[in-house]
């Protein structure tokens, strides 16, 4: 009985360790992706010549991103609805 419990305990420990490892790798990939996106956004903002436009974009970047996400969601919902009605 103790042998079964010890074996189960060691297997459970191994499973938990592998799950944690996979989660760490997943979060690391997400962080690398967001870092790459940030570099592309910063390079675009640096290339803008007019200081007023650059300041406006940097101050309202979060609002602009949220509006773009909202537009994409609205477009995709209408696109899905249109595909259902045509079938």
pLDDT of 16-71, one tens digit each? 788 888 888 888 888 888 777 777 777 776 777 777 777 887 788 888 889 999 99
User: Are residues 16 and 54 both part of a single domain?
Assistant: no
User: Are residues 63 and 23 both part of a single domain?
Assistant: no
Digit-coded pLDDT (tens) for 40-53: 777 776 777 777 77
pLDDT at 87 over 60: no
| Residue-number span of the structural domain to which 2 is assigned | 1-47
pLDDT at 13 over 70: yes
Domain count within the chain: 2
CA-CA distance, 8 to 17, in Å (whole number)?
Answer: 14
User: Are residues 39 and 4 both part of a single domain?
Assistant: yes
User: Are residues 34 and 74 both part of a single domain?
Assistant: no
Do 45 and 58 form a contact (C-beta atoms < 8 A)? yes
User: Are residues 84 and 55 both part of a single domain?
Assistant: yes
Among 73, 71, 52, residue whose Cα is nearest residue 63: 71
User: Are residues 41 and 60 both part of a single domain?
Assistant: no
pTM beyond 0.85: the answer is no
Token look-up 């300041």 returns 55
User: Are residues 64 and 29 both part of a single domain?
Assistant: no
User: Are residues 41 and 58 both part of a single domain?
Assistant: no
């Amino acid at each position: 009985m103790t042998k079964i419990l010890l074996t189960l305990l060691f297997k459970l420990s191994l499973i938990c360790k592998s799950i944690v490892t996979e989660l760490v790798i997943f979060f690391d990939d997400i962080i690398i992706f967001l870092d790459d996106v940030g570099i592309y956004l910063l390079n675009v903002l640096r290339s803008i010549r007019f200081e007023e436009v650059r300041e406006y974009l940097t101050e309202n970047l979060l609002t602009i991103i949220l509006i773009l996400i909202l537009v994409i969601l609205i477009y995709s919902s209408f696109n899905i609805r249109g595909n259902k009605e045509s079938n």
